[in-house]
Amino acid sequence: MYKLLLCWRYLSTRYIALASVVSVTLGVATMIVVNSVMSGFAFEMRNRLHGILADLVVEAHSLEGFENPEYYMDEIRRVAGDDIVGMTPTVHVPAMLSFKYGGKYVTRPVTLIGIDPATQSEASDFGKYLQHPENRRRMSFELREGGYDTRDHQAGREAKERSVMELAGWKYRRWHVKLERDREAISGDLDRVPPPDFTVPPEFTAPPDEKVDDTEAGETMVEEVENEHGPSDHGAEVADQDKSAKPPSDPFANRAKDADEVFDPMRETHTGLVLGIALSSFHDSGGDERFLVLPGDDVQLAFPNASVPPGVVTDRFTIVDFYESKMSEYDGSFVFVPIRKLQELRGMIDPQTGVTFVNSIQIKLKDESKGDLVRDKLRKALPMELFNVSTWRDKQGALLAAVQMETAILNILLFLIIAVAGFGILAIFFMIVVEKTRDIGILKALGASGRGIMGIFLAYGLSLGIVGSGVGMVLGLLFVVYINEVAKVLSKITGHEVFDPSIYYFYKIPTIIDPLTVAWIVCGALAIAVLASVLPARRAARLHPVEALRYE
């Protein structure tokens, strides 16, 4: 009892000892924040990776793929049908994407994926990442009239508005083609060039339920065009152009110039294509998103066909939507087209029998955690020399492992901070024991045992640990809960964005508070505080009562 009373009194009268646990507090708070943010990031990343990749992928080793996917899908269903929710065949090929921007062709290496629009969303979260609400509900490779999201639907209200997306769709295509034709009609006679009018005239907008304010849309477009010609935007390409001397020309000009004569871009489109959003846009120096192309524009793709050695196939496609998974690696390289069209172009359909070839089969499982089990089953059932079966974890193992490693190292480092705090407690406790020498003698004279004296100081250490880690826990949790507000305030004070959404693709700092982790951290801090008080407590317990009493 006296232990508790004295321990409490020491705690409430000796504030210097509390100073020694400030580092425990800070250590605990930092550990909680770091762990929450790291696991938030990891979770978010895993989610995205998982959303993009199917649970399980059966892929051919070769670029020409394997024939008759229906047969293999039946085979897979026979082996592991109980665990499977959905399957979709896909064709993957490396490709070159080109489109005209600012009078030049922009070419980018991409991964071209042929998907079955009907079943793709069954096997992965593909549909969720599209920009048109209708496409999210039911994917279609037809160009929509309009109505694309002007805000990032995944980010909530905090996202910056993408006002230019308001134009995207058929309306934009019609206006664009008209502009193009006008330009061609008057080319060669520059004096007769009328002042450019970027207002989308009403005749290009679909008459029913069209809510776009033309004037406003037009103005946005002008702004957009001018901005895109600013020298800062795309360096050397247009740096020489004198903006004031030249009438602002349309950056998307000539896009459809060499189109097929019969093909009327006013009324027709090429095959639909979904473009990774990072391929079509970039972030300017102000952090704003700028689009090089919009849904409605045409692009050109070049990719190898399925013969040996591969020849080059080129074709035109029309962008019908953007794909935004927030994983820059994928947003900057994925291009989706209908699988049938790709198979045709690559010669993956047997002309006599009509048997198709695919590269891989994407499988979604009922229970993702059974991935390894099903994978091993399929590996046994399918011929090894033809197929490689892997889970999404296998595919992104390195990345996930890296994140885990990072978390582990950060935890070790931060725990060292708390360990350092332990030495602070040790030093201060030795001083307190020296200061309390006489009191220890008195207690012994009154019959307190060495064990009891030790108990006082251990309890003292424990309660300091509780105070330190308790305050640390509360601070850490508050910080995690209000982390976005904190980031906002910090960016206001420092003047630059602490957490730049354009870099991380998250509009909020993702956090996950894992109660078990918090409990571990707090227990660890408590253990260190108690361990640090063991030595001084033992010393106090061994003090000779007479010498302690004589101590002045």
Contact residues: other proteins, CB under 8 A: 1-6, 9-10, 13, 438-439, 441-450, 452, 544-546, 549, 552
Give the Cα separation of 67 and 77 in Å (integer). Answer: 17
State the minimum distance, in angstroms, from the CB of residue 466 to other proteins.
17
Residue nearer to other proteins on the CB measure, 132 or 444: 444
Residue nearer to other proteins on the CB measure, 146 or 441: 441
State the minimum distance, in angstroms, from the CB of residue 460 to other proteins.
12
Give the Cα separation of 336 and 131 in Å (integer). Answer: 14
Give 448's contacts (C-beta < 8 A, 6+ positions apart). 2
DSSP 146-187: S---SS-TTTGGGSPP-GGGGTTTHHHHHHHHHHHHHHHHHT
State the minimum distance, in angstroms, from the CB of residue 458 to other proteins.
14
State the minimum distance, in angstroms, from the CB of residue 490 to other proteins.
43
Nearest partner of 59 among 91, 87, 94, 82, judged by Cα: 91
The secondary structure of residue 297, as a DSSP letter, is: B
State the minimum distance, in angstroms, from the CB of residue 536 to other proteins.
17
**What are the start-end ranges of the E strands in 68-139?**
84-101, 104-115
Residue nearer to other proteins on the CB measure, 414 or 537: 537
Residue nearer to other proteins on the CB measure, 86 or 545: 545
- How many Cα atoms are found within 13 Å in the side-chain-facing hemisphere of 542? 6
**What are the start-end ranges of the E strands in 341-472?**
357-358, 360-365, 387-391
Query: How many Cβ atoms sit within 10 Å of the Cβ of residue 482?
Result: 12
State the minimum distance, in angstroms, from the CB of residue 487 to other proteins.
45
- Report yes or no: 167 and 294 within 8 Å, Cβ to Cβ: yes
* 67 three-class SS: strand
Residue nearer to other proteins on the CB measure, 248 or 545: 545
Residue nearer to other proteins on the CB measure, 299 or 443: 443
State the minimum distance, in angstroms, from the CB of residue 465 to other proteins.
20
* 319 three-class SS: strand
Q: What are phi and psi of 318, to 5 degrees?
A: -115, 130
- Report yes or no: 119 and 87 within 8 Å, Cβ to Cβ: yes
Residue nearer to other proteins on the CB measure, 15 or 398: 15
What are the tokens at 99? Answer: 């489109």
Q: What are phi and psi of 443, to 5 degrees?
A: -60, -40
Residue nearer to other proteins on the CB measure, 1 or 236: 1
**What are the start-end ranges of the E strands in 102-153?**
104-115
State the minimum distance, in angstroms, from the CB of residue 436 to other proteins.
9
- Report yes or no: 180 and 296 within 8 Å, Cβ to Cβ: no
Q: What are phi and psi of 92, to 5 degrees?
A: -115, 130
Q: What 3 state SS string does 333-346 have? A: CEEEEEHHHHHHHH
Residue nearer to other proteins on the CB measure, 11 or 419: 11
* 109 three-class SS: strand
State the minimum distance, in angstroms, from the CB of residue 532 to other proteins.
22
- Report yes or no: 453 and 443 within 8 Å, Cβ to Cβ: yes
State the minimum distance, in angstroms, from the CB of residue 1 to other proteins.
4
Residue nearer to other proteins on the CB measure, 383 or 447: 447
